Structure 1
Amino acid sequence: MTDSLWFLLVGGLLLVMGLTTSLLKRLPVTPAIIYLAVGVLVGPTVLNLFHFNPLKESALLEVLTEVAVLISLFSAGVKMPVPFSFVRWRAPILLATVSMSLTVAMVAAFAHYLAGLQLGAAILLGAIVAPTDPVLATDVQIRHPGDRDQLRFTLTSEAGMNDGSAFPFVMLGMGLLDLHDIGEFSLNWVLVDVLWATMAGIAIGVVAGVALARLGWKLRRAPLNHELMDDFLGLGLIGVVYGLAVLVHAWGFLAVFFAAVALRQTELKLAKDALETSIGRTTQEIVRADTNAYPDPEPPPTVSEGSLVFKEHLERLSEVILILLIGGTLFINSWSWKAVALALFLFVVARPLSVLIGLAGTRTPWRIRGMTAWFGVRGIGSLYYLMYAIQHGLPETLALELIQMTLIVVALSILLHGISVKPLMGHFWRRNKQISTP
Structure 2
Amino acid sequence: MESQALVIALVGILGIGAQWVAWRTGWPAIVLMLAAGFLAGPVLGVIDPRETFGDLLQPMVGIGVALILFEGGLSLDFREFRKYAGGVWRLVIIGVPLGWLFGSLAGYYVAGLALPVAILFAGILVVTGPTVVIPLLRQSAVQQRPAALLKWEAIVNDPFGALAAVIAFEYFRAIALNDNVYDVVPEIAIAAAVSGLIGYAAAKAIAWSFPRGFVPEYLKVPVLLVAVIGTFVICNKIEHEAGLLAVTVMGIALANMHVSSLRSIHPFKQNIAVLLVSGIFILLSASLDFEALREFEWRFGLFLLTLLFLVRPATVLISLAFSNIPWNERLFLAWIAPRGIVLVAICGLFALRLEDLGVERANLLIGLSFAVVVTTIIAHGFTIDIVAKLLKVKGASRPGILIVGSTPWTVALGERMQALDTPVMIVDSSWQSLKRAREKGLPTYHGEVLHEATEHNLDLTPYQVLIAATENEAYNALVCAEFAPEIGTDKVYQLGEGADSDDRHALPASLRGRALFASGFGVEDVAARQREGWVFRRTTLSEKYDVDDARDNLPEAANMLMLIKPSGELKFFTHAATPTPEAGDVVISFSPPREKSAEEKAARKSNPTGQKPQTA
Please list, as runs of the form range in 1=range in 2, the aligned pairs for 1:297-316 lying within 5 A after superposition: 302=263, 305=266, 307-316=268-277
Q: Structure 1 CA distance, aligned partners of 2:127 and 2:160? A: 8
How far 1:55 moved relative to its partner?
12
Q: Which has the higher helix share?
A: 1
Structure 1 pair 134–406 and aligned structure 2 pair: CA distance change class (3 A): same
- Aligned match for 1:416, one of 376, 379, 385: 379
1:231 and 2:221 are equivalent in the alignment: yes
Q: Structure 2 CA distance, aligned partners of 1:51 and 1:301? A: 37
Aligned alpha-carbon RMSD (Å): 3.8
How far 1:303 moved relative to its partner?
6.5
SS in 2 for 1:361: coil
- Aligned match for 2:243, one of 239, 252, 256: 252
Counterpart contact for 2:104–2:118, Cα < 8 Å: yes
Structure 1 pair 142–34 and aligned structure 2 pair: CA distance change class (3 A): closer
Deviates more, 1:48-57 or 1:371-380: 48-57
1:362 and 2:362 are equivalent in the alignment: no
- Aligned match for 1:187, one of 182, 188, 195: 182
Counterpart contact for 2:40–2:46, Cα < 8 Å: yes
Please list, as runs of the form range in 1=range in 2, the aligned pairs for 1:140-151 lying within 5 A after superposition: 140-141=136-137, 149-151=144-146
AA at the equivalent of 1:72: I
Structure 1 pair 406–317 and aligned structure 2 pair: CA distance change class (3 A): closer
TM-score (norm 1): 0.76
Q: Structure 1 CA distance, aligned partners of 2:294 and 2:215? A: 62
Q: Aligned residue for 1:197?
A: 191
- Aligned match for 1:130, one of 126, 130, 133: 126
Q: Structure 1 CA distance, aligned partners of 2:47 and 2:208? A: 48
SS in 2 for 1:177: helix
Q: Structure 1 CA distance, aligned partners of 2:117 and 2:103? A: 11
Please list, as runs of the form range in 1=range in 2, the aligned pairs for 1:145-184 lying within 5 A after superposition: 149-178=144-173
Structure 1 pair 237–91 and aligned structure 2 pair: CA distance change class (3 A): farther
Counterpart contact for 1:36–1:326, Cα < 8 Å: no
Identity rate, percent: 21
Please list, as runs of the form range in 1=range in 2, the aligned pairs for 1:23-422 lying within 5 A after superposition: 24-44=22-42, 47-49=43-45, 59-83=55-79, 88-141=84-137, 149-178=144-173, 186-193=181-188, 195-219=189-213, 226-249=216-239, 251-267=242-258, 271=260, 302=263, 305=266, 307-322=268-283, 324-325=285-286, 333=294, 335-395=296-356, 397-422=360-385
SS in 2 for 1:218: coil
Q: Aligned residue for 2:505?
A: none
Structure 1 pair 404–305 and aligned structure 2 pair: CA distance change class (3 A): closer
Structure 1 pair 246–332 and aligned structure 2 pair: CA distance change class (3 A): closer
SS in 2 for 1:217: coil
Q: Structure 2 CA distance, aligned partners of 1:68 and 1:335? A: 28
Q: Structure 1 CA distance, aligned partners of 2:51 and 2:375? A: 21
Counterpart contact for 2:203–2:250, Cα < 8 Å: yes
Higher RCO (CA < 8 A, seq sep 6+): 1
AA at the equivalent of 1:207: A
Q: Structure 2 CA distance, aligned partners of 1:28 and 1:180? A: 49
What does the per-residue CA deviation read over 1:143-191, in whole Å, with 9 as the maximum and x for residues that have no partner?
Answer: 9xxx993223222222222221123331333245336889977422321
Q: Structure 2 CA distance, aligned partners of 1:208 and 1:4? A: 33
Q: Structure 1 CA distance, aligned partners of 2:56 and 2:291? A: 18
Q: Aligned residue for 2:470?
A: none
Q: Structure 2 CA distance, aligned partners of 1:301 and 1:174? A: 38
Counterpart contact for 2:70–2:247, Cα < 8 Å: yes
Counterpart contact for 1:95–1:355, Cα < 8 Å: yes
Q: Structure 2 CA distance, aligned partners of 1:253 and 1:87? A: 26
How far 1:232 moved relative to its partner?
0.9
Q: Structure 1 CA distance, aligned partners of 2:204 and 2:6? A: 45
What does the per-residue CA deviation read over 1:197-232, in whole Å, with 9 as the maximum and x for residues that have no partner?
Answer: 33323322223213211211121xxxx894242321
TM-score (norm 2): 0.56
Higher alpha-carbon Rg: 2
What does the per-residue CA deviation read over 1:100-120, in whole Å, with 9 as the maximum and x for residues that have no partner?
Answer: 221121121122223333322
Unaligned runs of 5+ residues in structure 1 are 272-299
